[in-house]
A and B are shown apart, each in its own frame.
Chain A
């Protein structure tokens, strides 16, 4: 039986994950389920054979219309650890550059009996568009679309926070930097609010904060020291220079002088604060190397957690078109 789609494109009629396009509209229970599932994948890396057979025989296509070595690689590792076959399509050198439409590309891949698309695109909404047009058995995972969403990055970030901080409801989380151009920040804000974090702060120059950003459920600061006061988690964002078309900041040097995270500024936060960054880091622009490599930094752990979280999302979305059967199968 093919499950019917609900009002939320991401869920099937039973409320289970079909596509993973955005954190918006997903329940707290589902986000916790993703994190719990990711937790159980941690032991796979301790095996001599770092694979489990869950997705054996399935084909995952990394459909990247925008360059990203890190995200593509972690999706590839995650899919391979689930025993899926992986196709990496570099769209810049593929048929779309010869004039083929996006839907023609999708149809051709569907004809090759693939099972999942991981999509990264410069246009907001591209993953949604593909999800609305793929064959019913195919799942679509958003690997980042324009300025809109980067839900798997948000999930690996909240998973990392959970690893170090037990109770979301008591946490103050600061997101610092280029909020305006950041799909990561948008998804993180939705995830943190869904998980009932006590306070989410965004810190940055007025030119890099969206208008009416408070409507997302955050408090705003334009002074880094004030914003960092007493926070448990600091998430630094990369300056999205490739998405900036105007003079949003005077110079990188001046940006670092006002909003760069140094050890001295980090002292405003709680003593056990953790520092995160989705990467790649612009050292000396957003963050000082002493902080990036320091004792509060969990940046490399984020990369490790990214694989487990993506394994969880891939396996949950690649669920069957059958209703679950109950009973002892021992």
Chain B
């Protein structure tokens, strides 16, 4: 079984630089950051410190917004969403660890808009893999990689943060 490790720190460096460039280009003033539970929150926590954001980090648990509830049912979640700032009219930095089909981000955007209407949302992703299923894609990425259909990439953490590519037995 393949178990290819990717180094997280260089990817964080690239993602941070990409976010800074994009924020400058889009005149992204006074941003508030949201990490998607669980891996996205770990990455957001690191970027939040690197970018020197003063406002507390927001946490989004998109379980109640997934489009696959009718297939997977309910699972207990002990980390509810916490957005310690007003979303209305804000520039939001939305952060996740892995971008695959795009459905998680769709769910996250739906949830964010239930808290208010942000001015802009900028999506930062540590790893973008192939397999996009809906017309959503990240603005900034640490790295893009191509994987086989039966391969997954998983972030473990929060300390240390480690990426691992592995095989799965069934399709999502």
CB distance from B26 to the nearest CB of A (A): 24
Bound form: Cα–Cα A51–B115 in Å: 10
The docked-state distance in angstroms from the alpha carbon of A225 to that of B170 is 62
- Say whether A329 contacts B68, CB under 8 Å: yes
- B44 to chain A minimum Cβ distance, whole angstroms, is 15
**Which chain A residues border B98 with CB–CB below 8 Å?**
328, 330
Sort A-B residue pairs by CB-CB distance and give the 3 closest, nearest first.
A319-B73, A52-B64, A36-B76
Cross-interface CB contact of B77 among A36, A47, A319, cutoff 8 Å? A36
Q: Tell whether B1 is near chain A: CB-to-CB under 8 Å.
A: no
Instruction: Decide: A43 near B80, CB < 8 A? Known: A54-B64, A330-B99.
Output: yes
Q: Show 27 residue pairs from A and B whose CB-CB distance is below 8 angstroms, ordered by the A residue.
A: A16-B73, A36-B77, A36-B78, A37-B74, A40-B78, A40-B79, A43-B61, A43-B80, A43-B81, A46-B83, A48-B114, A48-B116, A49-B115, A51-B114, A53-B110, A312-B74, A316-B73, A320-B70, A322-B71, A324-B71, A326-B168, A326-B170, A327-B152, A328-B172, A329-B100, A330-B97, A330-B101
Among residues of A, the one whose C-beta sits closest to the C-beta of B68 is: A329
Chain A residues at the B interface, C-beta cutoff of 8 Å: 16, 33, 36-37, 39-44, 46-49, 51-54, 312, 315-316, 319-320, 322, 324-330
Q: How many angstroms from the CA of A42 to the CA of B101 in the assembled complex?
A: 29
Tell whether A324 pairs with B73 under 8 Å between CB atoms, given A36-B78, A40-B79, A43-B82: yes
Interface residues, chain B, CB within 8 Å of chain A? 61, 63-66, 68-74, 76-83, 87-88, 96-101, 103-104, 110-111, 113-116, 152-154, 168, 170-172
Whether B76 contacts A33 by the Cβ 8 Å rule is yes
In the bound complex, what is the Cα–Cα distance between A46 and B116 (angstroms)?
11
Given contacts A330-B99, A330-B101, contact A320 B72 (CB under 8 A): yes
Please, how many angstroms separate the alpha-carbon atoms of A47 and B99 in the complex? 26
Whether the pair A329, B101 counts as a contact (CB closer than 8 A) is yes
Main secondary structure of the interface of A (DSSP, over half): loop
Asked if A42 and B74 make an inter-chain contact with CB atoms under 8 angstroms apart, the answer reads no
Q: Tell me the minimal C-beta distance from B69 to chain A in angstroms.
A: 5
Q: Which residues of A contact B87 (CB under 8 A)?
A: 48
| Residue in A43, A53, A325 whose CB lies within 8 Å of B72 | A325
Q: Report yes or no: B64 in contact with A329, Cβ–Cβ below 8 A.
A: no
- Nearest opposing residue in chain B for A322, CB measure: B71
Contact A325 B76 (CB under 8 A): no
Residues in A with CB closer than 8 Å to B168 are: 326-328
CB <8 Å contact, B73 and A327: no
Q: Which of B68, B70, B82, B100 has the most CB of A within 10 A?
A: B70
CA distance in complex: A326, B72 (Å): 8
Report how far A43 CA is from B81 CA in the complex, Å.
6
Report the Cα distance A324→B75, complex, angstroms.
Answer: 10
CB-CB under 8 A from B81, the residues of chain A are: 43
List of A residues within 8 angstroms of B61 by Cβ: 40, 43
- Are A40 and B77 interface neighbours, CB within 8 A? yes
> B63 and A40: CB pair below 8 A?
yes
Complex contacts, A316 vs chain B, CB 8 Å: 73-74
Question: Which chain A residue shows the least CB distance to B82?
Answer: A43
A325 and B71: CB pair below 8 A? yes
With A16-B73, A36-B78, A40-B77 in contact, do A327 and B115 touch (Cβ < 8 Å)?
Answer: no
Whether the pair A329, B76 counts as a contact (CB closer than 8 A) is: no
Q: Smallest distance from the beta carbon of A87 to chain B beta carbons, Å?
A: 21
Partner of B96, one of A41, A51, A327, A330: A330
Complex CA gap A327/B103 in Å reads: 13
With A36-B76, A37-B74 given, can you name 6 additional A-B contacts, CB distance below 8 Å?
A40-B61, A48-B114, A52-B111, A54-B69, A315-B74, A329-B66
Across-interface contacts of A43 in B (CB, < 8 A): 61, 80-82
Q: How many whole Å from B119's CB to the nearest CB in chain A? A: 15
On whether A48 and B77 interact (CB within 8 A), knowing A54-B69, A328-B100, the answer reads: no
- Give complex CA distance A312, B77 in Å: 11
Task: State the CA gap A41–B61 with chains docked (Å).
Answer: 10
Q: Is the CB of A37 within 8 A of B77?
A: yes
A320 B115 Cβ-Cβ under 8 A: no
In the complex, chain B residues whose CB is within 8 Å of the CB of A325: 68, 71-72, 170, 172
Best-buried of A39, A51, A53, A329 by chain B (most CB within 10 Å): A329
